[in-house]
Structure 1
Amino acid sequence: MAEAVHRPGLDPQGYIEREGSLGRVGHEFRPVVAAARGRLLDVFGARLDSAYLYGSIPRGTARVARSDLDLLVALCTEPGAADREAVRVVGEALDDEFPQIDGVGVLLYGRARLLSDLETYDLGWFVACLCTPLLGEDLAEHLPRYRPDSLLARETNGDLAVLLPRWRERVSGAKDSEEARRSLVRFMSRHLVRTAFTLVMPRWNGWTSDLREMAEAFAAYYPQRAEQLRAAAGYGYEPSGDPVALRSYVDDLGPWLAEEYARVHGVKTPRPE
């Protein structure tokens, strides 16, 4: 019997290891993280259950003036419109103040939703494996450990078919703006590469957040689509406002990937509107 291949991102028991840590935050980004911590406490106070970093900054791969600051905030109760406006203002202020980041994204949820059965293999997994604790209680203590299996694949990225109509609307709305198209290329490239990777993740049997490594893992199983994924991975790091890329995402690669994903893993459990 052939020896099993040891893939990255897994512990010796085959569970996905949590990526990132505060210790990996680069020197240039530490003032940004400190400011984010303080402002979230100022805004939410006792209503703040926990807050997390995710993305390239806690992974130690962020690039000065090129990478964004990604935060996830959990409130003790379900957030309302005023809470969403508050985090928008915080994000804009941080982006304006710190030139070493290129944008701020904040995900905002209530504790109950993050720990719900419905979100165990989506948002729960995201918190437990891809988020680095910044403030408050670590909700990972209440969540299971995760393997790179078909259930996880389905519940994380099995909704591409639902997303595509909205993507087409956004592409149409951005046709006259180079900057808007560039933002969409970056967003859609990353989403499609991650979806393509989780399509093959159970067979590859590992985890990575590196877009180029994701594309290569996918290419081993779908060589006919390999160059498309490699190009998308490149755009995920160095986007352009190429309208041809956007049309190919919503008219070719996206529909194919959605159909193949449903065939292999099924469709994500519907969420309430």
Structure 2
Amino acid sequence: MTTIKEIGSLCLTDSDGYIINHADWNKINPIFLAVINDVVHTYRTLLQDDLHSIYIRGSIPKGIGIEGVADLDTIAVTKHKPKKQQVKRIKEVEQALTQNHDCVDGIELSVFGKEDILNTTSFSIISFILQTHSICVFGEDLIPRLPRYKANEALANDHLIHLQGQIKNACDDLQDNSDREDIKDCCKWIMKIIVRAGLALVITKENTYTRDLYPAYKRFSEYFPDKESDMRRALEYAITPIIDTNVLLLFLNEFGTWMISEADKWLQFYNPTRELNMKIV
């Protein structure tokens, strides 16, 4: 049985309700410095002169990353729109990087163009993550140029409007899949999405947000106590992914379908026109 540690916290906000970024270079456990340096070197090698800046996000820059458990989530920003070859090559080196560093459970490399990051008329999850959960570790820091964000409908919408497609993609990926590592990666990915979508369902009631899984699960369960055990399973699968595709597909077809239905109710009320990116308020 997975031991769930009651770690993580809700985002703090200022007096105007804007989310405060508590990521800080000084909070990073020195055990993670070698892998961060390796990631920076990898981006610089692959992107060369087109590289603008590099960011890390998640538990590690908040100082709560657990050695051997935490993922190192990173974002590279390029001066021009990234080419397909660049994106493909960057995704190819993720696994090798992870294998070289036992201090993290996984490494996520991602790349976005500078203009996409700075297009701030509508909600952008990448701009949001940079502004509220990230620190710049290389290059010119774009965070001061990004809008500030509140825990509101625009944020919740981004988690809920894609949910049906994400669950379908996960089911398609799991069907007849025999690659153990691919199954575990898919399990971890979709379960994190489901737990965070659970919080999104109650954002307008709570006026609060977190990307940490445990507090997201707790907030959801307060409003949907009859579904607490299902969301707890999603949390467990996100922490300790399983490889039994039959169990995963049954869970997604049952609880996943319920989550899609609740997301649809939310969208009917807050976003009946189904805008993919709502205006920032």
TM-score range (shorter-chain normalised) is 0.7 to 0.9
Task: Tell me which residue corresponds to 2:188.
Answer: 186
Counterpart residue identity of residue 231, structure 2: L
Inter-partner Cα distance in structure 2 for 1:244 and 1:221: 29
Maintained 8 Å contact 1:79/1:108: yes
Maintained 8 Å contact 1:120/1:143: no
Deviations 1:43-96 (A, max 9, x none): 323311211101222122222233322111110111112211332354344223
Deviations 1:145-185 (A, max 9, x none): 111111221134321122232222111042x3444332222
Maintained 8 Å contact 2:152/2:203: yes
Maintained 8 Å contact 1:114/1:124: yes
Task: Tell me which residue corresponds to 2:7.
Answer: none
Task: Tell me which residue corresponds to 2:58.
Answer: 55
Which of 135, 147, 150 is matched with 1:147 structurally?
150
Task: Tell me which residue corresponds to 1:4.
Answer: none
Task: Tell me which residue corresponds to 1:66.
Answer: 69
Which of 223, 226, 232 is matched with 1:224 structurally?
226
Q: What TM-score does the superposition give when structure 2 sets the normalisation length?
A: 0.84
Inter-partner Cα distance in structure 1 for 2:236 and 2:113: 34
Three-state SS of the structure 2 residue aligned to 1:239 is coil
Task: Tell me which residue corresponds to 1:204.
Answer: 206
Maintained 8 Å contact 1:52/1:134: yes
Inter-partner Cα distance in structure 2 for 1:191 and 1:27: 29
Counterpart residue identity of residue 275, structure 2: T
Task: Tell me which residue corresponds to 1:257.
Answer: 259
**Residues 178 and 43 of structure 1: CA distance in aligned 2, closer, same or farther (over 3 Å):** closer
Task: Tell me which residue corresponds to 2:239.
Answer: 237
**Residues 116 and 16 of structure 1: CA distance in aligned 2, closer, same or farther (over 3 Å):** same
Inter-partner Cα distance in structure 2 for 1:170 and 1:89: 18
Inter-partner Cα distance in structure 2 for 1:162 and 1:237: 22
Inter-partner Cα distance in structure 2 for 1:88 and 1:186: 17
Which of 62, 65, 78 is matched with 1:75 structurally?
78
Out of 54-63 and 74-83, give the one that drifted further. 54-63
Three-state SS of the structure 1 residue aligned to 2:138 is strand
Maintained 8 Å contact 2:79/2:114: yes
Task: Tell me which residue corresponds to 2:5.
Answer: none
Counterpart residue identity of residue 83, structure 2: G
Three-state SS of the structure 1 residue aligned to 2:61 is helix
Q: What TM-score does the superposition give when structure 1 sets the normalisation length?
A: 0.87
Task: Tell me which residue corresponds to 1:269.
Answer: 275
- Unaligned residue ranges in structure 1 (runs of 5+): 1-6
Out of 134-143 and 89-98, give the one that drifted further. 89-98
The root-mean-square deviation of aligned C-alpha atoms, in Å, is 2.3
Inter-partner Cα distance in structure 2 for 1:196 and 1:31: 35
